[in-house]
Amino acid sequence: MANVASRVYKPADFSEGLWHEVLVTLGKKGFSPEMAADVANTKSGQAEQIVGLFSVKMDVSAILTTHHSFYHQFFGLDLDLSTVRIPPQRPDFTRPLIIAQGLTPNQVYEVCQKRFPYSKYADDLDSVLDWDEEERNPKDGAYAIWVRDRVEADVELKNLSADQIKEKGLTTETLLERLLHGLMYWSETNKHLDTNTVTLCTGSRSRRGNVPNADWHRDRDEFRVGWCGPRSAHGNLRARAVVS
């Protein structure tokens, strides 16, 4: 069986405490000493299968090509994305998003409003945002993230306010990332994200400390950008987790 690892680690790379916690957790799930012996047996192939569960292969070339075409088609940009770092992918996070250097919410809004009905709480989204509070900012260079490729916002984060998300130290989509995410999804499917839920863009804040949100309002048949308080929480108001 082929080795799925890209690097070989030594026992010293793992602390004794970490090993203990791993075994305690696995033991609670029914992992037995016999199973451990089977993993340790290099001929069993079990070790490769375990590592394979955490190793997700990604086609960097395809990611760059897709985003280059997307930015050229919708923004008229001919970007060199070859130096953009693509973070390691995690299981369940299968949609890459590359945020171009200098891109702003207003720019994405202008592209969207030419293609489908759109309303927003503030006329100038760029000036309303507190850019010092953005989790990520493309001002100094393009960057890439991974998000879950699903229509509705993350059910795992329902009933959590922006303040609670911050307290937990979770990494989530900014308003800019959500706008770009929605535009890219629409470009592929001619459909919209958040037809039943609202994405709470907890990676962003307004200058007054409020939190932007975004959804497709089916009754009005339009895409909306709104704002709510940092303590607002309910089942359909959900952040979207990010791997960065």
Kindly report the three-state secondary structure assignment for every residue of 218-239: CCCCEEEEEEECCCCCECCEEC
Confidence (pLDDT) at 3: 38
* E strands, 66-156, in order: 95-99, 118-120, 143-147
pLDDT at residue 219 in the model: 82
pTM (two decimals): 0.78
| CA diameter of the chain | 64
pLDDT of residue 5: 40
Q: Domain spans of the chain?
A: 11-54, 60-243
pLDDT for 2 equals 36
Predicted confidence at residue 4, as pLDDT, reads 38
Rounded mean pLDDT for each run of 10 residues along the chain, 244 residues in total: 49 84 89 88 80 68 96 97 92 95 96 90 91 95 97 97 96 98 97 97 96 92 94 97 96
Contacts of 28 (CB under 8 A, 6+ apart): none
DSSP-derived secondary structure letter, 189: H
